[in-house]
């Protein structure tokens, strides 16, 4: 079973993982197939993440557009709390999701 790096203080923790502040946010819109696929991938891999419905949050929509995105989902991953180190992309990207959500080593 895959375990993703958890958000500090939240969710599931694997015994061999160090706690750190990984934060995954998925910005979605209603009836978005790629949004559903992204959230399904994260759920299947036991990731802790937050979702924001862009149709209900004009402030978040403006922030996503300021990053240059016009389509959903937009995924933002922050590994250490520094916004300069954020990684972000749009669309269902299992390749990038896998890069930030690696299986934990099995307990010895």
pLDDT one-digit tens code per residue, 4-56 = 433 323 333 333 344 556 789 999 999 999 999 999 999 999 888 999 999 99
Q: What is the pLDDT of residues 52-91, one digit of tens each?
A: 999 999 999 999 999 999 999 999 998 776 667 789 999 9
Under DSSP, the state recorded for 14 is -
Q: Which domains does the chain have, with CATH numbers?
A: 23-100 (3.40.30.10)
The vertex-41 CA angle with 5 and 81, nearest 5°, equals: 35
Cβ contacts of residue 16 below 8 Å, gap of 6+? 104, 105, 107, 108
Under DSSP, the state recorded for 82 is -
Cβ contacts of residue 14 below 8 Å, gap of 6+? 3, 6, 104, 107
The vertex-13 CA angle with 6 and 106, nearest 5°, equals: 110
């Amino acid at each position: 079973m895959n375990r993703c790096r958890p958000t500090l203080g939240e969710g599931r923790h694997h015994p061999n993982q160090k706690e750190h502040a990984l934060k995954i946010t998925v910005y979605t819109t209603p009836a978005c197939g790629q949004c559903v696929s992204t959230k399904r991938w994260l759920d299947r891999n036991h990731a802790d993440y937050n979702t924001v419905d862009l149709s209900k949050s004009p402030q978040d929509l403006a922030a996503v557009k300021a990053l240059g995105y016009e389509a959903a989902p937009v995924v933002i991953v922050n590994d250490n709390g520094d916004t300069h180190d954020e990684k972000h992309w749009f669309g269902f990207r299992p390749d990038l999701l896998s890069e930030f959500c690696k299986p934990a080593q099995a307990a010895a």
